[in-house]
């Protein structure tokens, strides 16, 4: 059964919607290798990172996505979850 069949009022009732955003920094993946200034960019990000020399891993982004999709985030409403090792606090 489709979700709309289980909850027919969902077409007009948005009380069940939980809208949040995940803002991830640069994730060191295979596709990152194609960036022309990759090493310079990664070095710059490491210098602004508050958790040391740890790169942002794809698994961490996936875990944060699972959190936002789970009931654990029910009380988090209309926010942006920033996942960048603290680099964004440098402005």
pLDDT digits (tens, 9 = 90+) for 35-60: 888 888 888 888 888 888 888 899 99
Coil, strand or helix at 70? coil
How many domains are there within the chain? 1
d(CA 51, CA 22): 19
Domain with residue 29: its CATH number is 3.40.50.720
Domain hosting residue 26, numbered range: 3-90
The neighbouring-strand residues paired with 80 are 21
d(CA 57, CA 59): 5
- The beta-carbon contacts of 41-45 under 8 Å, at least 24 apart in sequence, are 45/84, 45/85, 45/87
Asked if residue 15 has pLDDT above 80, the reply is no
């Amino acid at each position: 059964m489709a979700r709309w069949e289980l909850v027919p009022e969902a077409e007009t009732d948005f009380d069940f919607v939980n809208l949040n955003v995940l803002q991830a920094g640069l994730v060191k993946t295979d596709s990152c290798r194609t960036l022309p200034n990759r090493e310079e960019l990664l070095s710059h990000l490491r210098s602004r990172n508050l958790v040391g020399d740890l790169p942002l891993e794809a698994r961490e982004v996936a875990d944060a996505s699972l959190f936002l999709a789970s009931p654990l985030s029910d009380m988090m409403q209309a926010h942006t979850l920033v996942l960048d090792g603290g680099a964004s606090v440098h402005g």
